[in-house]
Amino acid sequence: MTNIERHNYDVVVIGAGGAGLRAAIEARLAGKKTAIISKSLFGKAHTVMAEGGAAAAMGNANSNDNWMVHFRDTMRGGKFLNNFRMAELHAKEAPDRIWELETYGALFDRTADGRISQRNFGGHEYPRLAHVGDRTGLELIRTLQQKIVSLQQEDYAATGSYESRIRVFAETTITELFVEGGRIAGAFGYYRESGEFVLFEAPAIVLATGGVGKSYKVTSNSWEYTGDGHALAMRAGATLINMEFLQFHPTGMVWPPSVKGILVTESVRGDGGVLRNSEGKRFMFDYVPDVFRKQYAETEEEADRWYTDPDNNRRPPELLPRDEVARAINSEVKAGRGTPAGGIYLDIASRRPAEFILKRLPSMYHQFKELADVDITKQPMEIGPTCHYVMGGVEVDPDTAAAAVPGLFAAGEVSGGMHGSNRLGGNSLSDLLVFGKRAGEYAARCADETTKRVKVPAATLNAAVENALAPLGRGEGGENPYTVHGELQQVMNDLVGIIRRRSELEESLGRLADLKERIKKVGVGGGRRYNPGWHLALDLRNMLAVSECTAKAALEREESRGGHTREDFPQMDPDWRRVNLVCSLQGEDVRLERKALPTMRSELMRLFDRAELAKYLTDEELADFDAAAEGVAASGGSASNSAAVGGADKGDV
C-alpha cells in the first residue's frame, strides 16, 4: 500500500497567489487552522508577474472618483454581463483592501504630497491603479507572504509552533477533491519534490488556483496555469460560468519567438504609449465602437491633451478595454499592415523623454533590453495579442464566494462572474484582495458550522492514488505528454482563438474528443521524484476539461461580446446578455445549460444613462427601467436614489 501523509485542517486554501494568500490570512485571523497549498515555491505564484496595479476608487488622483464610477466602468468593461453584486462589492471594498495591504507593509508609488499614487488604465474613467512602478504583483505577493510569516511568529509565541495555525505546503499539487455526503471532505495531491502523496481532510476548501492560459500556445501565463481549480471544481460537482470569455491581452511580445506572448504592461499606454501600424498610422481612432463613442477622443490632438487635462478632454482610444484593442490589432495585421514579426508597433520612445520611461516603466525597459535587445526609450516595441486571463470560472455566491458544493469556495481568477465578458486591467489585483478576503472569511464560518466532519473512505483514496500513478505505470511506451500538450495548445490557438467561427469550433470539439482519449494513454518515464513529465501528464486532463468548456460555450453563444468574438455573429445581442452558459460535468463530458443572469438592483441600474443602457438591454428590460424611473420620479426624484446607493455621485459621465 502506498504511503500517504495525512493532515487535518479547518480551512485548506489551494493556490498561493494573491487570492489564496489573502484568503488564508483571513481564515487564520478568524482563528482557523489553515493550510496553503502552493503549486510552485512560496512567493513565486503567477500574481508576481502582474505589472500595472490594483484598481481602487480611492480618489487620490482625481477626487471625482468613487465606487459608483468604478462600478460603472467595470460593468461597461464586461459589457454588462458581470454579476452586478460582485462588481458592486469589488468597487466598494477595493480601497479598504489597498489601505489594509499598506498596514502589512506594502510599498506604493506616491503623489508629491505623500498619498498613494494612482495611474490611468484602459476602461477606467479616472486614474485608479495603485502601483509600484511596473512590478505591482511582486510587491503584493511579497507583502502577503511576509504577513503570513509575521502571523506565524505570533502563533509561535502563543503555541510554541510556527506552523500550528497556518502552514504553507510549497511545491504541492492537488489532483483530487473529495466530496462525501454531499459536502467537501478533503483534497489529495503530491509533493513535487518527493512525489509522495498527501491527503488534507478539511470541511472547507478555497480554490484560488488562477487561470487556464497554458491551454494556449501564445500566452502570458506561466506553467502553473493549467485550469486545475476549474477542473477540480467541476469534478467535485460545482459549476463554471462564462467559460467562453478569454481575455487576449492586446500587448504581448511577438519577437523573439522564444518570448512570444510575454506581457507588455498596459501602463505603457496609460503613460502615453500609442499603437501604430506599419504605415505609421495611429489606427485605434478607426476602431472605437459605438457603445464607447462618447467617452473617447476623435482626434490625436484631443487624445494627447487628455494626459495633462483629463477633465476637459476625452481619453485616447489606445485606452479602450482590452478586448477592443486586441481585436483592432488583429484586424490591422490581417489587413497586411503588421510588422515583420506579425505584430504592430507600440511606441512610447517618440512620445516621452527617456528619463520618464526609465522612471515609470523600469521593468519594461529591462525586459525589452534583456529579452529582445530593444531600447524602448529609442525604438518602438513590436507587440500582438496574447492569451492572458480567463473571465470564466467557478459559479459562486457573490457575497460569500461559496460554490455550489457545500464547503467549496473560489476566489480570484478561478471564480467567474465578477468581470463578465471582459476584465478591465487593474481589476484583477483588486478582485483577488476583495474576494480572497471574503472567501477566507466565509470558509472559516463554514468550518465553524460544520459540526460533524466526514472522513475520506479508503476506497476513494485508493482510486485517487491509482489515477495519479497511472502515467508512470504506462511508462515511456504511452503517449508523450509534451506532444499531446503541444497539440492541445495548437487546437485552442487555431480554432478557439480571438476570432471564432462555427466550423472551426465544431472542428475543435472533434479534436478535443480525440485528445481526451489520448490523454488517457499518456505515459512517462522516470520516477516520482521531481519528474516534470509526470506533473504535466496529471495537469493535462484539467487543461482538456477547461478547453472543452471554452469550445462548447463559444459554439453555443451566437453573438460577439467582450472576450468572445464570433465572425459569423459579429454583433452584441441584448437577448444573449441575459444568459449565462453554465458548464458542469456529466460523467466525462461537459454539459452546457443556459441560466438567466441575476437582475441588477434598480438603484444600481440608475447609475447609468438611459441612452447607455439602451445599447445593452432588451426592449423589455428598458420598459421595466422606464417604469421604475417613473416610480422614482413620482416619489421624490433622484435624491432617494443617491441616498440608496450611498451618497452623492460626483463623477457623472
Footprint on this chain of another protein (rule: CB under 8 A): 40-44, 46, 48-49, 58, 95, 98-99, 102-105, 107, 109-116, 132, 135, 137-139, 142, 146-147, 149-150, 152-153, 162, 193, 222-224, 255-259, 262-263, 363, 366-367, 370-372, 480-482, 486, 524-527, 529-533
Complex with another protein: residue 100 or 556, whichever CB lies closer: 100
Name residue 246's beta-bridge partners: 390
- 366 labeled binding residue: no
- 18 labeled binding residue: yes
Chain-centre distance of CA 418, in angstroms?
Answer: 9
In whole angstroms, what is the distance from residue 297 CA to residue 295 CA? 7
Annotated active-site residue 474? The verdict is: no
Length of the chain: 653
Tell me the one-letter amino acid at 611.
A
**500: closest CA among 548, 545, 543, 550?**
550
Q: Which of 28, 76, 192, 322 is catalytic?
A: 322
Mapped onto helix, strand or coil, the DSSP state of residue 171 is coil
In whole angstroms, what is the distance from residue 397 CA to residue 593 CA? 18
Closest CB 144 distance from another protein, rounded Å: 11
- 560 labeled binding residue: no
- 43 labeled binding residue: yes
Closest CB 106 distance from another protein, rounded Å: 9
Closest CB 5 distance from another protein, rounded Å: 17
- 19 labeled binding residue: yes
Complex with another protein: residue 447 or 484, whichever CB lies closer: 484
- 584 labeled binding residue: no
- 34 labeled binding residue: no
Q: What φ, ψ does residue 428 adopt, rounded to 5°?
A: -85, -50
Closest CB 43 distance from another protein, rounded Å: 6
Complex with another protein: residue 107 or 633, whichever CB lies closer: 107
Burial readout 12-26 (b: 16 or more C-beta within 10 A, e: otherwise):
bbbbbbbbbbbbbbb
Closest CB 500 distance from another protein, rounded Å: 27
Euclidean distance between the first and final Cα of the chain, in Å?
66
- 52 labeled binding residue: yes
Residues ≥6 apart with Cβ < 8 Å to 638: 606, 632
Q: Are 187 and 245 in contact (CB under 8 A)?
A: no
**409: closest CA among 229, 213, 636, 543?**
229
- 41 labeled binding residue: yes
Helix 67-77 and helix 84-103, axial crossing angle in degrees, nearest 10: 120
Complex with another protein: residue 137 or 407, whichever CB lies closer: 137
Closest CB 429 distance from another protein, rounded Å: 15
Chain-centre distance of CA 641, in angstroms?
Answer: 32
Complex with another protein: residue 102 or 567, whichever CB lies closer: 102
For the residues of 520-584, what is the DSSP string, one character each?
TTB---S-STT-HHHHHHHHHHHHHHHHHHHHHHHHH--S-BTTBEETTB-S--HHHHTEEEEEE
- 309 labeled binding residue: no
In whole angstroms, what is the distance from residue 188 CA to residue 79 CA? 38
Burial readout 608-624 (b: 16 or more C-beta within 10 A, e: otherwise):
beeebbebbbeeebeee
Complex with another protein: residue 51 or 621, whichever CB lies closer: 51
Complex with another protein: residue 297 or 491, whichever CB lies closer: 491
Q: Are 224 and 387 in contact (CB under 8 A)?
A: no
In sequence order, what E strands does 170-230 have?
Answer: 172-180, 183-191, 197-201, 204-207
- 51 labeled binding residue: yes
Omega into 256 within 30° of 0, i.e. cis?
yes
Closest CB 413 distance from another protein, rounded Å: 16
Complex with another protein: residue 438 or 528, whichever CB lies closer: 528
- 413 labeled binding residue: yes
Q: What φ, ψ does residue 350 adopt, rounded to 5°?
A: -85, 0
Complex with another protein: residue 370 or 567, whichever CB lies closer: 370
Closest CB 535 distance from another protein, rounded Å: 10
Closest CB 256 distance from another protein, rounded Å: 3
Q: Is 378 left (phi over 0), alpha (psi -120 to 50) or beta?
A: alpha
Cell numbers representing residue 458 in the block:
479508503
Helix 18-29 and helix 427-449, axial crossing angle in degrees, nearest 10: 40
Query: Could you give the residue numbers annotated as active site?
Result: 322
* Binding-site sequence positions for FAD: 15-20, 38-53, 228, 388, 413, 428-429
* Binding-site sequence positions: 15-20, 38-53, 228, 249, 265, 388, 413, 423, 428-429
* Binding-site sequence positions for substrate: 249, 265, 423
